[in-house]
């Protein structure tokens, strides 16, 4: 893999921050965008923009084609059985809200939904909103000291009232890669459907929804080198057929009268209003980029970077890394002595290093770890070992200043 060649596709990586070459390590929040995606957006706005599924005219048909080809590309990428199972959303958050609102209609007071303590707020709050409406009960799986889920407890939480299990594939704080296939198999053995939050997995690991056999899988394009504002909800057709629409409006109807409305076929039943068809079309270029490099190569490179960086970090006095699950993904959450994460983040920024600080939208996990937040460095395919060295050097300086 020629990283320098890959980096050429990402103009933003040439930026300087505070007079130093930028080292972008906030990929968990959003990854940067390769030229082919930017060019595709530019090309569509310059040549092809027209609303989808609405016109007989050439432009509209071209645009519809681009959107639907992207849907097929995504279907193939995640190995879904049919394009009817690939629904475009605004992102992971909207995908989970859609399932909680629509699938959640079948839940009754006292029914139980299993979550885990490492969830992002996106996989907590929608279920709490549903709890307010229906009186469901949320059950939460704990972690061990390495940041792995307590699978024994997970299994023990299932009972006759369990109606759903919803958990992340990869933790955005700890980097833990959860055994989602095994967890799904167990839930199914108890007759319980599963939603997987794949926001932090889809940029780093091969995703095969048929193999995992999950009922729902959600992810966001902007973390996968794609445009902002679009995401995907994969859902098993048998559920999607039964589920009521999430929102009403154009595109999602078959026939509307003031007395009655019938809904469009899948997947359009869940896509009310004009979708971000430009973003959707350009997302296929991001997938093309990932396929060209190879997701397994990406995974391998990021893992090597992670191990290299962590190995060097642990020598910094007072440094503590949160998350030590074997095979963890390219996420390093850490604290330096008693220093506040913001102070560390600011001192790193002054040296050109862009990292995330705070609770990472995982406040319950921060409470569980008994810390206010962490500093978080996350890698992408374009990060280099030189950058890892630069990050370590900057961190050593920051640690020295804050001592
Ligand atoms: N789940 C996880 C694990 C995440 O890391 C994120 C993004 N930080 C989300 C959900 C939400 O993704 P989005 O903001 O793109 O909807």
Which pLDDT tens digit goes with each residue over 301-319? 999 999 999 999 999 999 9
With the most atoms of ligand 1 within 8 angstroms of its CB, the residue from 328, 361, 380 to mutate is 361
Nearest CA owner, ligand 1 atom 12: 92
pLDDT value, residue 1: 85
Q: Which whole number is the average pLDDT over 272-293? A: 98
Residue 98, ligand 1, Cβ within 6 A: no
User: Which among 324, 330, 341, 323 has a CA at the least distance from the CA of 399?
Assistant: 341
pLDDT value, residue 369: 98
pLDDT value, residue 137: 98
Q: What integer best gives the mean pLDDT of the chain?
A: 97
Residue 200, ligand 1, Cβ within 6 A: yes
Q: Which whole number is the average pLDDT over 263-278? A: 96
With the most atoms of ligand 1 within 8 angstroms of its CB, the residue from 92, 115, 276 to mutate is 92
Residue 120, ligand 1, Cβ within 6 A: yes
pLDDT exceeds 80 at position 69: yes
DSSP 8-class letter at 321: E
Confidence class of residue 55 from pLDDT cuts 50, 70 and 90? confident
Nearest CA owner, ligand 1 atom 4: 199
pLDDT value, residue 271: 97
Q: Residue 379: helix, strand or coil by DSSP? A: coil
**How many CA atoms are closer than 13 Å to the CA of 400, on its beta-carbon side?**
6
CB 210 within 8 A of CB 81: yes
* Cα separation, 403 vs 397, whole angstroms: 10
pLDDT exceeds 80 at position 403: yes
**Which atom of ligand 1 is nearest to 93's Cα?**
16
Residue 233, ligand 1, Cβ within 6 A: no
**Which atom of ligand 1 is nearest to 94's Cα?**
16
Task: Using a pLDDT cut of 90, give the percent of the chain over it.
Answer: 98
Residue 94 structure tokens: 């909207």
Residue located via tokens 């206010």: 372
Residue 383, ligand 1, Cβ within 6 A: no
Residue located via tokens 């960086």: 309
Residue 168, ligand 1, Cβ within 6 A: yes
With the most atoms of ligand 1 within 8 angstroms of its CB, the residue from 116, 119, 122 to mutate is 122
Nearest CA owner, ligand 1 atom 14: 93
Q: Which whole number is the average pLDDT over 32-50? A: 98
* Cα separation, 282 vs 287, whole angstroms: 9
* Cα separation, 112 vs 179, whole angstroms: 21
pLDDT exceeds 90 at position 385: yes
* Cα separation, 227 vs 206, whole angstroms: 20
Query: Which residue among the candidates 138, 151, 361, 366 is catalytic per the annotation?
Result: 361
CB burial of residue 189 (10 Å; 0-12, 13-18, 19+): exposed
Q: What contacts 217, CB < 8 A, 6 or more positions away?
A: 78, 169, 195, 196, 198, 207, 209, 233, 234
Confidence class of residue 54 from pLDDT cuts 50, 70 and 90? confident
Q: Please list, residue by residue across 154-169, b when 16 or more beta carbons sit within 10 angstroms of its beta carbon and e when fewer do.
A: beeebeeebbbbbbbb
Q: Residue 119: helix, strand or coil by DSSP? A: coil
Spell out where 150-215 has E strands.
Answer: 162-168, 194-197
* Cα separation, 173 vs 191, whole angstroms: 30
Q: Which whole number is the average pLDDT over 216-221? A: 98
Asked if 361 is an active-site residue, the reply is: yes
With the most atoms of ligand 1 within 8 angstroms of its CB, the residue from 96, 172, 217 to mutate is 172
* Cα separation, 320 vs 271, whole angstroms: 44
pLDDT value, residue 395: 98
Phi, psi of 347 (to 5 degrees): -65, -30
Residue 91, ligand 1, Cβ within 6 A: yes
Residue 351, ligand 1, Cβ within 6 A: no
Confidence class of residue 160 from pLDDT cuts 50, 70 and 90? very high
Provide the 10 A C-beta neighbour count for residue 272: 18
**Which atom of ligand 1 is nearest to 222's Cα?**
15
DSSP 356-374: EEE-TT-HHHHHHHT-S-E
Residue 89, ligand 1, Cβ within 6 A: no
């Amino acid at each position: 893999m020629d990283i320098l060649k890959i980096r050429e596709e990402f103009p933003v990586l040439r930026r300087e921050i505070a007079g130093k070459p930028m080292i972008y390590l906030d990929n968990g929040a959003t990854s940067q965008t390769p030229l082919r995606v930017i060019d595709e957006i530019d090309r569509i706005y310059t040549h092809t923009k027209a609303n989808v599924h609405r016109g007989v005219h050439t432009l509209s048909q071209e645009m519809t084609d681009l959107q639907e080809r992207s849907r097929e590309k995504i279907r193939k990428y995640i190995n879904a059985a049919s394009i009817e199972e690939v629904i475009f959303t605004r992102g992971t958050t909207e995908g989970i809200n859609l399932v909680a609102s629509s699938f959640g209609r079948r839940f009754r007071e006292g029914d139980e939904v299993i979550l885990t303590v490492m969830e992002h707020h996106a996989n907590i709050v929608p279920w709490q909103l549903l709890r307010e409406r229906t009186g469901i009960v949320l059950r939460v799986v704990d972690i061990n000291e390495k940041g792995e889920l307590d699978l024994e407890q997970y299994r023990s939480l299932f009972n006759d009232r369990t109606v759903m299990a919803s958990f992340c594939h990869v933790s955005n704080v700890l980097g833990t890669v959860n055994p989602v296939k095994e967890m799904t198999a167990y839930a199914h053995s108890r007759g319980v459907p599963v939603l997987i939050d794949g926001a932090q997995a889809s940029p780093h690991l091969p995703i095969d929804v048929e193999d995992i056999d999950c009922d729902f899988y959600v992810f966001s394009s902007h973390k996968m080198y794609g445009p902002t504002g679009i995401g995907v909800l994969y859902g098993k057709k048998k559920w999607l057929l039964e589920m009521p629409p999430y929102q009403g409006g154009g595109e999602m109807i078959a026939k509307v009268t003031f007395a009655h409305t019938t809904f469009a076929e899948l997947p359009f039943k869940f896509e009310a209003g004009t979708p971000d068809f430009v973003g959707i079309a350009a997302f296929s270029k991001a997938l093309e980029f990932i396929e060209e490099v190879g997701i397994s190569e990406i995974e391998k490179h990021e893992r090597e970077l992670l191990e290299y960086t962590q190995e060097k970090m642990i020598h910094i006095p007072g440094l503590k890394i949160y998350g030590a699950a074997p095979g963890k993904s390219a996420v390093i959450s850490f604290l330096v002595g008693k220093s506040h994460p913001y102070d560390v983040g600011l001192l790193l920024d002054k040296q050109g290093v862009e990292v995330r600080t705070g609770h990472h939208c995982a406040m319950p996990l921060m409470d569980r770890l008994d810390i206010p937040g962490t500093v978080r460095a996350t890698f992408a395919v374009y990060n280099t070992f030189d950058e890892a060295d630069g990050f370590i050097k900057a961190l050593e300086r920051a640690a020295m200043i804050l001592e």
